[in-house]
Chains A and B, each alone.
Chain A
Amino acid sequence: MAPSAATPARYYDGETAQVLEVGVRPTAGELILFRPADSSIVARWPVNETAVLGDGSHEGAPPIVRRGGEARLVIEDPEQRRQLAALIPHLAALAEVPASAGRRIAALGASLAVLVAAFWGVIDYGTEYAAPWLPYSLQVKLGETVYEELVADKDECQGQRGLAAINDLANELARAAGYPHEVTVHVIDGGPVNAFTLPGGILVFYSDLFEQAKNSSQVAGVLAHEIGHVVHHHPTKGIVRAYGVDLLMKLVSGGYSDLLNTLTSGGNILLAMRNGRAFEREADATGVALLEKLGLRADGVSSFFEQMMEKEPKDAASAAGIWSSHPPTQERIEATKRPPTGRPAFSTANWKALREVCK
Chain B
Amino acid sequence: MSVLVYTESDNGTFKKVALEVASYGKAVADQLGTTLTAVTINAKDTSILGNHGVDKVLNVTNSKLETFNANAYAEVIKQAAEKEGTKVIIVSSSADSKYLAPLLAVGLNAGYASNVVEAPSSTSPFTVKRTAFTNKAFNITSIDTDVKLIGLSKNAFGLKEHSASATVEDFSPSIPDNGVHVDAVDKVTGKVTIADAEIVVSGGRGLKGPENWGMLEELAQVLGAATACSKPVSDLGWRPHSEHVGQTGKPVASNLYIAIGISGAIQHLAGINASKVKVVINTDPEAPFFKAADYGVVGDAFEVVPKLTEKLKAFKAQQ
- Say if A and B assemble together: no
B: which residues have CB within 8 A of A? none
A: which residues have CB within 8 A of B? none
